[in-house]
Amino acid sequence: MTFEQFLQYRPTRRTFALFGHPVEHSVSPELHTFLLGRAGIDADYIAIDVPPESLGAAVARAREILSGFNVTIPHKQAILPLLDGCDDRVRALGACNTVRVEAGRLTGYNTDFDGFARALERDYDPAGKSALLLGAGGVAQVIARVLHAQGARLCVAARRPEQAHALAEACGAHSTGFDSLPSASFSLVVNATPVGMSPAENGLPAALPDGVQYVFDTIYNPPLTRLLREARSCGARGQNGLAMLVIQGAAAEDIWLDTHTPEPILLDAERLLLARLAQKRLLQIHGRRNIALSGFMGCGKSTVGRALADALGFDFVDADVEIERVHGPISEIFRTQGEPAFRRLESACLTQLAGRERTVIALGGGAMVFPQNFELLRERCLVCWLDVPVEFCHRNLIGDTTRPLLRHEDLLGGISMLYRQRRTHYERNCHLALRADAPVEQVVRALLSEI
């Protein structure tokens, strides 16, 4: 919604909002609509593009028609003199991201502090650890104080050394230049810069220092930034900014509504936003409308595929089941017509399935052995290879008598031989590969993050 439209807006029920500039890529409306719905609150949440010069008029209108609102860049500091009051955290940080409206009175709060603190403490304890904070802007101001409060030995690095020095001095930390990072060692690295954010996803804010154990990247689009990939490659754990976003958003609603959002709802909100991001990125970044899962028989394509489709709100189709629906049992096709005839039917089926939209397709175990099938799918489907150990497939295939290519007394030996023959084809004929010998929900989350 534009600022001009907001001035004319007449709410029909309780309304909350986001003030920012710009706001078109914000996921706050989706997040708060979900949270309000789960809380059973009959209300609207709208994003309003408020240019800096219009903030005063927007705030005046908010006093009249809103029940509360969030504030994002570039208004977190500019709004302070327009408030009637604020809590101690806003005073300490010099920034406000949440405003409660009560009888026309505006009270400011900052939920970013709790958002970062609670997201980090889920997975990593920074107490006594050496921590490197990349950036010295608004988000970094909050994070520096969280890490200081949690007992980390903090060092701040920024492109502008004077900013890093000022922030470090304000919270009893050290500062350093980016040029000295390779020689330093830190257990925790936090990126509070926009470097690596979509669409410039190849950006790397800094090379990871020696000894890093955990990386927190405040960026959530892409969910798996280059920095997080670098961390994974050197054996470090990490997370993106999605949990921080959800927690601070829920904390804002708790302030507006005098409620407490339980942890399971926070986790549901994270899953929802991750799936929404994957939906958008599938088309906007990858230029594709479907997802095809490849891999050896028994790797979990159908199980993972159904769960992935459910998360995305997509249709699901198992290519082998579709072939059997039209042509009868695959084992019978192999027996009476031979494998070449089956592969022709399979290619024809994939041609038809590739024309669908918003569909997750579980491919047959041998489909990607044939390059022409990858060519049929690659333009409209993101082909994802579920890579699992042979032993994982063996456990899933014990007792399965429907596989015409596994009629061996030595089942594990037969699987191993066929897997060796196919593995190179799986690697070559896919857009992305994912280790998938984990619980289904974990595999789905990893797939959504990779997309």
Q: Do 83 and 176 share a domain, yes or no?
A: no
Instruction: Answer yes or no: is 97 a known binding residue.
Output: yes
Task: Give the residue numbers spanning the domain of 230.
Answer: 114-240
Bridge partners of 210, per DSSP, are 185
Residue 327 and residue 430 share a domain: yes
- Give the number of domains in the chain: 3
Whether 275 is covered by a domain: the verdict is no
pLDDT of residue 446: 96
215 with 258, same domain?
no
Residue 179 assigned to a binding site: no
For residues 89 and 230, state if they share a domain: no
C-alpha closest to that of 32 among 11, 16, 48, 9:
16
Residue 404's pLDDT is what?
57
Residues 6+ apart with CB under 8 A from 363: 292, 293, 294, 295, 301, 319, 350, 373
In a domain, 279, yes or no: no
| pLDDT tens readout for residues 314-335 | 999 999 999 999 999 988 898 8
Q: Is 104 within any annotated ligand binding site?
A: no
Q: Examine the residue annotation and report whether 129 is marked as an active-site residue of this protein.
A: no
Q: Residue 298, annotated ligand binder?
A: yes
Q: Do 104 and 128 lie in a common domain?
A: no
Helix (H) or strand (E) holding 7: helix 3-8
- Find out whether 185 is annotated in a ligand binding site: no
Query: What pLDDT does residue 215 have?
Result: 98
pTM of this prediction?
0.88
In degrees rounded to 5, what are phi and psi of residue 318? -95, 120
Same domain, 168 and 303: no
Query: Which CATH number goes with the domain that contains 70?
Result: 3.40.50.10860
Distance CA 312, CA 315 (A): 9
CATH number at residue 210: 3.40.50.720
Q: Is residue 390 part of a domain?
A: yes
Q: Is residue 369 part of an annotated ligand binding site? A: no
Q: Tell whether residue 112 is among the known ligand binding residues.
A: yes
Is 103 in the same domain as 123? Answer: no
pLDDT of residue 400: 64
In a domain, 278, yes or no: no
pLDDT value of position 411: 72
pLDDT at 398: 74
248 is in an annotated binding site: yes
Residues 303 and 426 in one domain: yes
Q: Are residues 233 and 123 in the same domain?
A: yes
User: Are 293 and 441 contained in the same domain?
Assistant: yes
Catalytic residue, from 76, 129, 288, 425: name it. 76
Whether residues 341 and 432 share a domain: the answer is: yes
- Judge whether 57 lies within some domain: yes
Per-residue pLDDT of the chain (451 residues; tens, 9 = 90+): 999 999 999 999 999 999 999 888 889 999 999 999 999 999 999 999 999 999 999 999 999 999 999 999 899 999 999 999 999 999 988 899 999 999 999 999 999 999 999 999 999 999 999 999 999 888 999 999 999 999 999 999 988 888 899 999 988 899 987 777 666 789 999 999 999 998 889 999 988 888 899 999 999 999 999 999 999 999 999 999 999 999 999 999 999 999 999 999 999 999 999 999 999 999 999 999 999 999 998 899 999 999 999 999 999 999 999 999 999 998 889 889 988 898 899 999 999 999 999 999 999 988 998 888 999 898 899 999 999 998 988 887 776 666 655 555 667 777 888 899 899 999 999 999 999 999 999 999 999 999 9
User: For position 401, what pLDDT does the model report?
Assistant: 61
Q: What are phi and psi of 177, to 5 degrees?
A: -90, 160
